[in-house]
Amino acid sequence: MKLPGNRHRHMPTRHDEVRVDTIPFRDLPLDEKLQTMAGWMRERRARQVVALDVRKVSGVTEGVLIASVQSVRQGRSLAEWFVEKVAEVGQDYLGMEGQATGNWILVDLNDVMVHVFLDQIREQFNLEGLYSRARSVDLAPDDSDQPGADLDD
């Protein structure tokens, strides 16, 4: 096929190699997706980040990410930033609840539910206990997860 300017367009044949340089974020394996999201949370000073594979214990979602914050302001800011971050990578986003009070913010990503808690509220609701039969996803160690760690400068 001739194009203007005597340029030829290459028509693909069955012998052409199809290259896939990157996998869309939404198609990553669950563990890798949760590990990446946990890293994002830690970038914004979230503490005690826990990632769970709940596929065998929940019919609603595949993964749960739980994080603690020290203030309502930090929680709101973290949740809003997190929603922007997932939009950048093309992850599904269904909604966010709880940002008005900021004590417990839920971000629904369809296959992953993200919970951002104030410390004392997290203890009260104990989602880790609710999902005690879920598989914990290994996350890189983080100093802020140690007892007594304080992020205030």
Q: For residue range 73-105, what is the model confidence (pLDDT) as tens digits?
A: 999 999 999 999 999 998 888 999 999 999 999
Q: Does pLDDT of 9 surpass 60?
A: no
Domains and CATH numbers, the chain: 33-136 (3.30.460.10)
CA-to-CA distance for 113 and 91, rounded, in angstroms? Answer: 12
Q: What confidence score (pLDDT) does residue 46 get?
A: 95
**pTM (predicted TM-score):** 0.77
CA-to-CA distance for 132 and 130, rounded, in angstroms? Answer: 6
CA-to-CA distance for 98 and 104, rounded, in angstroms? Answer: 6
| Residue 26: pLDDT band with limits 50, 70, 90 | confident
Q: Does pLDDT of 10 surpass 90?
A: no
Q: What confidence score (pLDDT) does residue 144 get?
A: 54
Identify any residues that bridge with 51 across adjacent strands, giving them in sequence order: 65
Q: Residue 103: what residue type?
A: N
DSSP 95-119: EEE-TTT-SEEEEE-SSEEEEEEEH
CA-to-CA distance for 121 and 23, rounded, in angstroms? Answer: 36
Express each pLDDT in 115-149 by its tens digit.
999 998 999 999 999 999 999 999 887 655 544 44
Neighbours of 79 (CB within 10 A): 25
Which is more confident, 96 or 17? 96
Q: Mapping DSSP to helix (H, G, I), strand (E, B) and coil, where does residue 132 land? A: coil
Q: What confidence score (pLDDT) does residue 142 get?
A: 67
Express each pLDDT in 51-64 by its tens digit.
999 999 998 999 99
